Amino acid sequence: MASSAIAAAWELGLRLREHRDQLGLSVGGTAKAVRMQQPNLSAVETGRKKITEANLLKLGKLFELADEEIGELSALRARAEQRDWYHRYSWLFNEDFLRYLGFEFAADTLRVYESCFVPGPLQTVAYATETMTTGSPYNRLTEVEPRVEARLARRVRLEGDDPIGLSILLSEAVLRQQIGGPEVMRDQLDHLASMADQVEIRVLPFSAGGYSALGGSFYVLTFPSPHLPGLVYQETLTSTTLLERRQQVREYTVAFAESANQALSPADSLAFIRGIAKEMK
């Protein structure tokens, strides 16, 4: 089972907040009882700040937790202290995207709707480089190489004994927009086709008309831990957003499912992708 420091910190915080809520304790009252600053405890509960082992044990005593659960929480705290591959890019990405990378690394399923670009983990080097140099006016030339390197590193979750369950819905526009020109795009489409046995890829052709997901791209993640709810990640030209509210996640999940019903089957999508690739030769 894959895990990450960011997902571990999030689960630890959620479980601590759940115990506090069950006892009807306020954040301020709890922080005062264990001699923590209220903002620090709030940040711990959202997974954005680490907690010391001493303070964790104080909370465990205050909440009257069993030794077994304290052990589980302590293991999460230790995992949250570790560094994963994405931490070396903390100078490059904003906090939300860095957190997203940690969540993606720990997720067991990822459902993606893309209206403009091939999803990051499935991009070729040439295609990724083109999106970095022409896709955003805010990327410095000196940042292109490490950004591409980080994007390619995300492929690790498609490999190994416990690969992520990746399902992708692509607008036809993604396949026809010639990022980098015909040769780069043809190679990218050929790569997509080669991944069809590892990833579920379905195309929403222009002939599909309107559908629930039509509009901005989004990523829906689920996790193997029963303590972690689903998440939605969205990215625009100038901002990134992580959505955690259950109702919001449900709405995106339903939009993905309804749109998938209007998409081509995986087999027909593969033929569609290969057909467009041939047009670019």
Q: Give me the CATH number covering residue 64.
A: 1.10.260.40
59 and 127 part of one domain: no
| pLDDT for position 74 | 98
Predicted confidence at residue 160, as pLDDT, reads 78
Q: Which of 19, 6, 110 is CA-nearest to residue 60?
A: 19
Residues 18 and 141 in one domain: no
Q: What percent of the chain has pLDDT over 90?
A: 89
- The domain boundary, picked from 23, 52, 80, lies at 80
Of 7-21, 110-124, 156-170, 256-270, least confident by mean pLDDT is 156-170
- For residues 119 and 209, membership in a common domain is answered with yes
Q: Mark whether 183 and 269 lie in a shared domain.
A: yes
Q: Domain check: are 131 and 47 in the same one?
A: no
Is 91 in the same domain as 31?
no
Q: What is the CATH number of the domain that holds 176?
A: 3.30.870
**pLDDT at res. 136:** 61
Please, which contacts does 262-265 make with residues 24 or more away whose CB atoms are closer than 8 Å? 262/204, 262/208, 262/209, 262/211, 263/169, 263/202, 263/203, 263/204, 263/208, 264/202, 264/203, 264/204, 264/205, 265/202
* Class of residue 73 by CB neighbours under 10 A (exposed 0-12, middle 13-18, buried 19+): buried
| For range 142-168, the mean pLDDT | 92
Predicted pLDDT at 139: 65
117 with 221, same domain: the answer is yes
* Strand order from edge to edge, sheet including 165-171: 200-204, 165-171, 109-114, 218-222, 231-235, 240-243
Q: What is the pLDDT of residue 146?
A: 95
In this predicted structure, the answer to whether residue 142 has a pLDDT above a threshold of 90 is no
Stated length of the chain: 281
Give which of 61, 62, 60 is closest to 12, Cα–Cα: 60
- Whether the per-residue pLDDT at 274 is higher than 80: the answer is yes
Please give the model's pTM, rounded to 2 decimal places. 0.93
- 165 is written with which tokens? 């369950």
Same domain, residue pair 147 and 227: yes
Domain that holds residue 132: 86-279
Span between the terminal Cα atoms of the chain, in Å: 42
| Same domain flag for 61 and 167 | no
Question: Please, where are the H alpha helices in the chain?
Answer: 5-22, 27-33, 38-45, 53-62, 67-80, 95-106, 125-134, 141-153, 172-176, 182-194, 246-260, 266-279
Degrees to nearest 5, angle at CA 8 with 81 and 20: 105
- Per the structure, the count of domains in the chain is 2
pLDDT at 255 over 90: yes
Say yes or no to pLDDT of 1 above 70: no
Domain boundary residue, one of 64, 80, 96: 80
> In this predicted structure, what is the pLDDT of residue 154?
94
Query: Do 116 and 235 touch, CB atoms closer than 8 A?
Result: no
Q: Are 60 and 108 found together in one domain?
A: no
On whether both 63 and 92 belong to a single domain, the answer is: no
Question: Last residue of some domain: 50, 80, 110?
Answer: 80
The string of pLDDT tens digits covering residues 192-238 is 999 999 999 999 999 999 999 998 899 999 999 999 999 999 988 77
Task: Verify that 200 and 69 share a domain, yes or no.
Answer: no
